Amino acid sequence: MARTLEEALKEVLADDNTVSKYEAKVIRELVMADGVVTEDEKAALQQALSKNTFSDEAFQLLSSILLRSHMKD
């Protein structure tokens, strides 16, 4: 069963309220699995990036998904 992005974000933030590079790669794979970044996924990523702590590498990985998705719009 596929997890939602919101569930995955909650899970990776639950332990220490930070997202590591490894956790960001897992999130990226979840988002990119269907090849489309939906509006809900964009909103969830934007909210998470603005409200939580990400390692520099994790922030770059996930913000690049948003950047690419906005360039396609």
pLDDT digits (tens, 9 = 90+) for 6-63: 888 888 888 888 899 999 999 999 988 888 888 998 998 998 889 888 999 999 999 9
Please spell the DSSP secondary structure of 27-43, one letter per residue.
HHHHHHTTS---HHHHH
Cβ burial, residue 72 (10 Å; 0-12/13-18/19+): exposed
Are 40 and 5 in contact, with CB atoms under 8 Å apart?
A: yes
> Which residue blocks in 1-73 are alpha helix, DSSP H?
5-14, 21-32, 39-51, 56-72
Domain boundaries, position 67: 5-72
- Structurally, how many domains does the chain consist of? 1
pTM: 0.81
Cα–Cα distance measured from residue 63 to residue 15, given in angstroms and rounded to the nearest whole number: 22
